[in-house]
């Protein structure tokens, strides 16, 4: 009988069920990596705007590094998290983070309607995590 990584992890964690294997086997790490990757999406989006068409070297370099790390983190997280859930959470964190940065630092309009829309996005992201 061939043992899977999940079987080995469940045995190591002291349980034999899938939940024990996922908890101990990296799902928590995958979610943490996904959150960091989502924050890095905000970093690369903000850096892209600051790079002014890649005419400024430092923001362009920050963009490139943050983009690679963000995509790498997403790819790593998707090894344990379903594609639809992981992608929506990643995009949601990046979109909300970028919008908040725009409102706080760039003078984007801060209205009740915009905040409500961002809260709806955040609620959807949290819902997908909870229902995962």
The per-residue pLDDT string of the chain (132 residues; one tens digit each, 9 = 90 and over) reads 555 545 544 454 555 555 555 555 578 899 999 999 999 999 999 999 999 999 999 999 999 999 999 999 999 999 999 999 999 999 999 999 999 999 999 999 999 999 999 999 999 989 988 887
How much is the pLDDT for 9?
A: 47
Tokens of 46: 């903000």
Q: Is 49 exposed, middle or buried (0-12, 13-18, 19+ CB in 10 A)?
A: middle
Distances from the Cα of 29 to the Cα of 4, 19, 32, 81, 107, angstroms: 19, 14, 5, 11, 35
Cα separation, 111 vs 116, whole angstroms? 9
Question: How are the residues of the chain apportioned to helix, strand and coil, as percentages rounded to the nearest 5?
Answer: 80, 0, 20
Tokens of 126: 């949290």
Tokens of 22: 């996922």
How much is the pLDDT for 19?
A: 55
How much is the pLDDT for 8?
A: 46
How much is the pLDDT for 20?
A: 54
């Amino acid at each position: 009988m061939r043992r899977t990584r999940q079987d080995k992890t469940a045995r190591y964690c002291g349980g034999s069920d899938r939940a024990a294997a996922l908890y101990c086997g990296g799902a928590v790490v995958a979610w943490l990596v996904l959150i960091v990757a989502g924050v890095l999406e905000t970093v690369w989006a903000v850096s892209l705007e600051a790079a002014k068409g890649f005419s400024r070297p430092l923001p362009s370099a920050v963009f490139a590094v943050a983009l690679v790390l963000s995509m790498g983190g997403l790819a790593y997280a998707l090894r344990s998290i379903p594609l639809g859930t992981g992608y929506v959470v990643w995009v949601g964190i990046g979109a909300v983070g970028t919008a908040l940065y725009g409102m706080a630092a760039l003078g984007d309009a801060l209205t009740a309607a915009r905040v409500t829309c961002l809260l709806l996005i955040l609620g959807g992201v949290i819902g997908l995590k909870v229902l995962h």
